[in-house]
Structure formats: structure tokens, C-alpha cells
Structure 1
Amino acid sequence: MFANVERLARFMDEQGLDGLVATTIENVYYLTGVAAVGLEIFPHTGQAYAVVTRDALDRPHFVASRCDIDQALDASVEIAGAIGYGVFFRELPDGVELTDRERRLAETSVAAPVVPTPMDALVETLRRAGLAEARIGLDEDGVAHGYVDALRQKLPRLDVRLASHSLRWARKVKTEREVRSITAAANVAEVGIQAVSALARPGVTERELAREFERAVAGAGGRAKFSHIKIGRGGVAGQTRPSDVALRRGDAIWFDVGCVVDGYWADIARVVNLGEPPEKLRRYYAAMKAGCDRGYAEAKPGMTGGELFRIVVEAVHEAGVPHYRRNHVGHGIGVELYDRVNVTPDNEDTIEEGVVVNIETPYYEFGLGAVQVEDPFLVTADGNKLLTTLDRDLIVLD
């Protein structure tokens, strides 16, 4: 199971919750291991839910459209029940002998009575789970304005509390399985950077470099989510689409790339130079790396995001870029790209053992481009563990 059951139980006990309803693609996946396709392809209107009770946090109920209810078969935990809403047809001719997997699908998508709407399916799930007159926490981030009031009208004795903030708190500290998935994602992103570096030669365009990253990530079992790869001074506009700018000897290639493996994110950055790099690039890269190194070495349980921010920025200043300034120099990462803790100037959220911090020191300058180092590391009481293996120095290609 991905979810940190101990932390879920702790916040539910603190708030007196009998149940919990997840509504976003990240939180549904966190509780079930199901990447709800309806929430991905219909991000504004799609509805899918995971419902757990306090006494069975490892046996969620799953709600999705009748088309997508087959995804209950993908769950990484035992599903206590599944309800599909709406109309969808899977034909079951007489005399067909079903496998166990097919039988379970037929029960939810053929034999089960039609449930018209997502709200109706959630109400029925709460009743089956014994939560219709209980106190529940609902992840309000994945439902439309007015949804909570409508749910209360359907179940007048239901006590609904908003819980998205608490779910993010629970997700802050990672389980061993989550750390493995984050590490696997980081390793796949590194494969992508290595593939692009192998392709780098004069005349290759940004568009071709980005395509190679995405191809390599897919080949290694991941899904590329952003491929910010820029040549030379173009890095100052790093979030723009890849262009037909061609690589020349002496140019830098800036990477800020992300992918997902097994539902978990990677977000890493490097700079690769084709041929001898300019002296300024060497100096600035060394300073950015010094900031990340200091943050990685000194982050510890009990430190706030704001304290870590000041440590990192001060290290960059001391390493030779005294004018360096940033809105943030890192963030938590996990089933969501930006999990807690955020490494921002005034963040009072505390780092805990088991948090994964993505430390980064991006720098953008007109005429120079972008310089950045970024890596995830696991915070432990006995010292921190870097989750990447790719060379963290400025990479120079002969």
C-alpha cells in the first residue's frame, strides 16, 4: 500500500473522523493505487472517489463511471467495494465461463443496478460503508463549488469536514513503497537526460532533444510530464515550447524535466555543455550546486521550510553569486509534483523524518540562459539519502 496508514489514522483520530473521501487523482491513487482515468482525461468534470473507514484504512471503496469501474481491478490493495455510475455496456452472453477477474468486473458493470450520478454512487458507498450518519473528512479539492452542501442535503445526518489540507499533511511523510517509486521515477528521468546527452551534436534542435527525452522515458517505463530542455541563452525562457534552434559547439543544454513512474513524480535538473563551457557558466553552476549541497547536507527533522531556504540561498551567495534570489529553492515530492514541505522564505511547515525534499537552485539570466541543479533526497534522523545517481557536476561532452 502506498498510503501512510499511521498518519492517516492519526489525523482522523485527532479530528474524530469515522471515514475519509478522496476526490483528486492524486489522493484516489494514494488510497487505492488506481490512476483514475476519468480524472485525468476530464480534469474539470470527471468524478472518481476513494472512501475509507477509520477501522479499515487498507480496504478502500472505489467509485468511478461504469466505463472506468474496471480500474478497480488495478488496485494495489483489496477493494472493499466498487460502484460504477452512469450507463456503459459490456455484453455477457449466456453460457460464457468467466475468469475470476472477469466475474468481479461483471458484478460491478453488468449485474449491479444502474446508479445515475457520481453523487448517487458516493451516497450509496457511504451507506454501504456505514458512514451515512458519521463524521467524514472530504477532499474538497476535487469537487465543484456547492458539492458539499448538496451531499449534506442527500444525507442530512452526515457530518462533513473539509480534509484536503489534512490529506496533504498525511502524504508529507513517505512510506518505503513511496520512496521506492520516487527513486524509480528519478532514475527514469536520468535515463532520459543520458539519452539526450548521447544525441547531442552540432545541428540537433531543441525539438529533437525534447523528443529524445520523451522517447527514452517511455522506453524506460515512465511517462514524461514536462520536457524543459533549452539550448544556450534560450534557457531564460525555459517553459516555452521546444524550438528549432540548433545546437552548436560550446552551447549549454539546460534540463528541467519531470516524469511519472508507478504514480510518483520525478523532477530533476542538470546542465550539459557541448565542448568547453564558458568560465562564467562553470562558476555559476558551481555556486548553484553548492547551494543544493548545503541544503542536502543540513536539512534535518524539525527544521522549517523557511530555515532550509535561508541555508540554501546563503550558500549560493557565499559560493560566488551574491545577487542570487529566488521565490523557492525546493519542494516536497511524491504522488503530487509539489507535496509538502515547500522550501520558501516564510514557510513554517516542519521537515520530518521520511519527507522527500526536491532541492533546487534555478538561475535565469538574459544572455546566459538557465543554470540549475535539482535532485530529490530522503530526510532521515541518521543523515539524508540522495535518490539520484547521475553526475551532479556540470556535464561536459567532448
Structure 2
Amino acid sequence: MQTNGVDVMMATIPENLLYASGFRSLSQWLIRGQKTLAVAVIKFNGEVTLIAPSGELDRAACDPPVVDHIIAFDTVTVEPGDEAIWLAEDWRYANMVLVSNRPKDLWEAFALAGIPDEACVAIDDPDLAQAYRQRYQTQVTDARPLWLQSRLIKTPEEVNRLRRAVEITEIAFLHTINAVQVGISEKELAIIFNMAVVKAGGDPYLAVIGAGTYGAYPNHIPGDYCIKAGDLIRWDMGCSYQGYVADIARTTCVGKPNKLQTERWEAVLAGQMAALNAIYPGQLAAEVYSIGMQAARENGLPDIKRKHIGHGIGIDMYEPPSISPNETLSLEAGMVFELEVLFYELGFGSVQVEDTIHVTPDGYERFTTLPHSLIIIDN
């Protein structure tokens, strides 16, 4: 922080709040942008204070955040009941909110957080930043680019969560393709996939399952279309695990693929493999894009167009870096991103492969373990 001239950083955007404190505020997610409820305050010495309304801190009782202090404010609306039958979580909740000097609002809570009057404060909510500046007549800067920069290199714990999110997604995918048969609908497959995600320990997040020509729709919602023999099925899928998301893709064919399907798949795969071979610390993200696109064009898709062939991933599905021609970032050890070469065409459908990549000091680790092949389904 101090390299940016900042003494205190505040996180209010749900993704930044989770990153800074480990706290997931349900209301903050649901009413995003309407009102600031919970705030993580990080001082230059690394001390983290979570400030939240009493009604939000039940989640902190059940899933304790990683912070030094918790300050509850506002009215407590939960009746205490009989202490003799309290659970451990009840005691944690009571110790956070049933305090005699509980501040009545966010501003009183800020006063208790011990923020120096002369501190330069960075806040990621423009409305709160303006109100803070007017109230305290102090220097306030935009924390959003600082949080994006902080989240660019993943911690070992973040890497573990992202890896597990991919594992759960693959388990659900392998379970679901066993149910593929002529006559089953996309919607039925999505239900099977999402149920398998939950059973494996994840939260449903992404299930773009497009069969036949519907595979050409990038954001397709699985519908009533029933699978036919010869269909390509594009699976763009993922889940959320402890706040971190997966986003991987594979293409399956119901029965033996025809010549055009095979050729286009091989072109996409050539692009993916060339891009993978270009990944190492210090490599320009834009160069990975160029190498992948050139290989796809040279191997059968001369007119393929893509604005990007990958994106960072973490708490958000789309984070820096972008694997695109205009990206200025170089790859660094600790980055995690998606690499995806794909082709859409109306009337044809789509072929897509997408892997989750963790940049390491000597190259990369691929979280995705599914085979790099057009998966033939003959159930």
C-alpha cells in the first residue's frame, strides 16, 4: 500500500471484501451497488478490521473471517434466547454483536477502527469514498485498481481453492456425459451436472451446454432441444468453491464425428496446444494470444476471429490478465488464468477447449486433467 502512497485500504465490493477478509456478506452480494454494508479496513501495518451490521455477522459466526478485529454496528434483531442451549456458533455471534458499546452506524464504527485523521485512504466504492472525503476532509483515492493488482497473483490458499473448483467441475462433467443419449434435453443434462456439482462439494455457477447448432450461441441457456446422433455438444462449465470459481470447457460428439467436425476440432486444438507451449513467466499475454490464433488459422480455421483466448480467474470469472492482443501485462508466477481457443458458426455449432492454467516459476501447471481430445459419446 505504501508504495502507492496509501495508509489505509477499504474493501466494500463483495469480491474485494472476500479477498481482504475471508468474509462473504450475503446482503452485499444481493444488493450490489445500492448500499455499503460490510467493510474490511486494512491499515498500512497489515492489521485487518471487519466492520459490518449486526445482522450480517451470523455468517462470520459460522464461517469465521481471517481478521484481527470485528466491529458490529446497528440494531441487533435476533433475540438472545436461552444461553443454556446455545451452540458454539451462537456464542461467537453473541460475542460479536451483544456488546454494550456497539456503534449505531458505519461512521461510529470507523471511529472505533482507529484510522488516523491524516491518513490517505483508498476506497473501492465511489459513493462511500465521496462521503468519507466530505465528512473527514481527508485525501481519498480509488482502491479498485489497487485491489485488482493485489488479486492478480494468487496465494497458495487461493490456488488450492481454484484447483478444487476445477476438480469438482470435472467430476460433475464426467458424471453427466454418462447420461448423454439421443433424446435427452440440454436442460436435463444441466440439471444432472448441477446436482453432481453439489454432491461433490461445490456450488452451481456455470452450465452452458449447447448441442447441435445451439453450440454456436456463446451464452446459451440449456433448453428443450433434445440431443441427436451426430451432434457436437459444447460444455462451457464451472462451479464455485469457497468463493472461487472454475470455468473450463470441452466438446463432445454423439457418435462418430464427420470430416468437418474433426477438421475444425483439430484446428482449435492446434491453437490451444501452441498457446500452452508459449506460456512461461515473463511472456507477454498478447504474444500467447498471437501464437494460439496463428496456429488455429494455419491448421484449418483461416478466418477464425476472437477478441481474446483467455482471461484471469479467481473470485471473479473474469480477472486480469486477458489473453488478448491489447493486453500489456506479462505472465508472472502465481497468476491463474483460463486458456480457451474456440470456434462458433451458425448452423454448425461450436468446438471449444478451455483449460485452467497456473503460472509457475519454471512454466505452468494445468489444473484441468480432462483429455485434449474430441470426446466421443456412444452410450
Letter in 2 for 1:16: G
Conservation of the 8 A alpha-carbon contact between 1:202 and 1:246: yes
Aligned ranges for residues 315-326 of structure 1 at < 5 Å? 315-326=295-306
Distance 1:294 1:318 in 2: 11
Shift of 1:288: 1.2
Q: Quick one: which of 130, 154, 157 aligns to 1:149? A: 130
Q: Quick one: which of 28, 45, 61 aligns to 1:55? A: 45
| Counterpart residue number, 1:160 | 140
* 1:230 matched to 2:210: yes
| Counterpart residue number, 1:136 | 121
- Cα distance change, pair 76–222 in 1 and its aligned pair in 2 (3 A): same
Shift of 1:26: 0.8
Letter in 2 for 1:193: F
RMSD between superposed Cα atoms in Å: 2.0
Shift of 1:82: 2.4
Conservation of the 8 A alpha-carbon contact between 1:83 and 1:125: no
Letter in 2 for 1:155: Y
Shift of 1:93: 4.7
Distance 2:134 2:313 in 1: 37
* 1:109 matched to 2:86: no
Q: Quick one: which of 18, 22, 27 aligns to 1:33? A: 22
Distance 1:194 1:295 in 2: 25
* 1:71 matched to 2:51: no
| Counterpart residue number, 1:7 | none
Shift of 1:100: 6.1
Q: Quick one: which of 269, 275, 283 aligns to 2:263? A: 283
* 1:296 matched to 2:276: yes
Q: Quick one: which of 73, 80, 94 aligns to 1:84? A: 73
1:320-370 Cα shifts (integer Å, max 9, x gaps): 211111011001111111121111111112211111121001211011111
Distance 1:75 1:296 in 2: 39
Distance 1:244 1:92 in 2: 49
Conservation of the 8 A alpha-carbon contact between 1:62 and 1:72: no
| Counterpart residue number, 1:194 | 174
Conservation of the 8 A alpha-carbon contact between 1:257 and 1:269: yes
Alignment partner of 1:340: what SS?
Answer: strand
Greater mean deviation of Cα atoms: 43-52 or 356-365: 43-52
Letter in 1 for 2:46: A
- Ranges in structure 1 where 5+ consecutive residues have no aligned partner: 1-11
Distance 1:29 1:93 in 2: 31
* 1:376 matched to 2:376: no
Shift of 1:292: 1.6
Shift of 1:29: 0.7
| Counterpart residue number, 1:332 | 312
Distance 1:205 1:97 in 2: 49
Of all paired residues, the percent bearing the same amino acid is 29
- Cα distance change, pair 93–212 in 1 and its aligned pair in 2 (3 A): closer
Alignment partner of 1:55: what SS?
Answer: coil
- Cα distance change, pair 37–132 in 1 and its aligned pair in 2 (3 A): farther
Shift of 1:133: 3.2
Q: Quick one: which of 28, 32, 37 aligns to 1:43? A: 32
1:154-181 Cα shifts (integer Å, max 9, x gaps): 222x321111111111111111111111
Distance 1:230 1:94 in 2: 54
Shift of 1:132: 4.0
| Counterpart residue number, 1:21 | 10
| Counterpart residue number, 2:188 | 208
Conservation of the 8 A alpha-carbon contact between 1:68 and 1:84: no
Conservation of the 8 A alpha-carbon contact between 2:154 and 2:336: yes
Letter in 2 for 1:265: V
- Cα distance change, pair 249–162 in 1 and its aligned pair in 2 (3 A): same
How many residue pairs match? The answer is 376
TM-score (norm 1): 0.89
* 1:350 matched to 2:330: yes
- Ranges in structure 2 where 5+ consecutive residues have no aligned partner: none
